[in-house]
Every structure is written in structure tokens, then in C-alpha cells.
Homo-oligomer: A and B are copies of this chain.
Amino acid sequence: MEKNLWKHIETVRTQSPLVHNITNFVVMNNTANALLAVGASPIMAHAHPEVQDMVSICQALVINIGTLNDYWVRSMLLAAEKANQLGKPWVLDPVGAGATNYRNHTLSALLSYKPTVIRGNASEILALAKANTTPTKGVDSTAESSEAIEAAKLIAEKYDTLVCISGKTDIIVGKGAIISLDNGDALMTKVTGLGCSATAVIGAFIAAIDNKLEALTAATALFSICGQLAAKQSAGPGSLQVNLLDKLHNISEEEFWQTLKIA
């Protein structure tokens, strides 16, 4: 699969899939920009009378519960139901799973519509598996990615989905496969919503590529590699956010292969 990763990046650029996002207020701008930078076409819409129409015209759906409320939860459920019905791929970002009962209940309802991919930090994946013995610290993780592997296996099995545990090492779990990606940079944790942007980019890749495990791996590798390359040029988190969007847009095949650390 490794040799296909760059090809998938080019496929997204060529196909420019339309990706429907129901995400949180904090990251909407960055998320849309990350999608544009990798060559996809973002749309954001959540009104109940139109949300299922939008799912119908898009190639994938991204749901992120960061700043949920009752109206938005209903939008998410309508959209996930439609994606499930139409067999369209969708990705779930369980922001703050385990922090409140309200988030846990919302996530249970969403999981019934079988997301194609779930991407979260270790604390969130542990919480999703109800195996969370690590106290959640708001939306940031207090656990290491490796601790959450068993939880991810459980979730992958139970919901027939792929799981990406983000962290210092990103770990992808599903269908018997475990893939580790050792790219990224610590400065990325000082920019809000980079995880949310990574989730949206995964949406673009599962929209355009049939092999969902390869799509998830290519998206995750691309995002972490671009973050790592961008961090090298950055004086702090402000410039990292800017340089990351530039790099998602202009990364070369050579840069990709020279930076990739996969196992």
C-alpha cells in the first residue's frame, strides 16, 4: 500500500471531491482552507431543511462535534443517516468524548450510522470504547496513542470502521491492520483545530479513493508530513498555521517520500 500513497494525493487533486462538513465554529475557516489546499471542494451547511440534500450532492461527509448543541446534533444525525442510506463515506471526529454525558450520548447516536472512519486523540478513543480510565482534560489528550490501541481495535470491530488515533505517533487501526505514522511536530499542538482539519482532509480522501484504509493512511501521512515541514519554517504557531496551508498546496512528491516515516 505504501507505494500508492502519493498516487492517492494526486487523485484528490485531480478529482476535487465535494466534501460536506458539519463541524465546529472554532475551526470552520481552517478546515475549509485545508480542504481547498489539498485540492478538494468544501461545503458547510447544517439547516435541517437542506442538510440531507447537501449530503446527496457531495462525495463524502465530515462530522465534528466540537461545539455541538441540540440544533446541530439534529443536523449531524440527519446528515449521517442520509450518508448511511446512500452508502456515502463519512468520517467522525469525536471532539471531547468523555468530557460530558451530553457528548457521550450524541456519539452513541452518531455511531449507529456507521462512520467509515473515526479520528480522535487517545483520550477520545478510550472514552468512545468506554474503556476510559484516563481523565479527559477538555479537548486535549492526556493519554498516549499507544494506550488507545486496544480501545481502537474494539471500536473498529464493533462498528465495522477504521480508527485513526492522532498523537505524537498517529496510529491507524482496522480490519486486522495496524499502521504507525511517525511524522508531525510538537508545535502542531499549539495551533487550534489541526486535528479537526486532519479529519476534514480524511473526508476528501475517502471521497475520492475506493480503498478506505489506503485513503485514510494517505490523508494522515500528508497532513502530518506537511505539518512537520511547515513547522521547520515557522517562528511559532501563527506562522505554522499559514505555512501548513501553503505546504498542503505545494508539497512535492520528493518532499513527501523523503519525510514519510511509516511502519
Contacts and interface: CB of A to CB of B under 8 A. Distances in A.
A201 B94 CA distance: 26
Interface residues of A, number: 63
B244 A193 contact: no
A147 interface: no
Contact of A26 (B32, B100, B247): B32
Given A27-B29, A33-B237, A68-B47, A138 B41 contact: yes
Contact of A237 (B49, B67, B246): B246
A27 B36 CA distance: 14
Interface stretch (A2-10, A50-58, A77-85, A158-166): A50-58
Interface in A129-144: 137-140
Contacts of A96: 43, 45
A99 interface: yes
A36 B191 contact: yes
A87 interface: no
A113 B140 CA distance: 29
Given A29-B26, A30-B29, A69-B47, A18 B191 contact: no
Given A29-B192, A241-B242, 4 more contacts: A29-B30, A36-B190, A58-B138, A237-B246
A162 B26 CA distance: 28
A257 interface: no
Given A191-B33, A236-B249, A249-B190, A67 B44 contact: yes
A70 interface: yes
11 contacts: A26-B28, A44-B66, A45-B96, A49-B102, A53-B99, A54-B138, A57-B138, A235-B250, A237-B249, A238-B244, A241-B245
Given A18-B137, A54-B100, A235 B246 contact: yes
A236 B245 contact: yes
A112 interface: no
A42 interface: yes
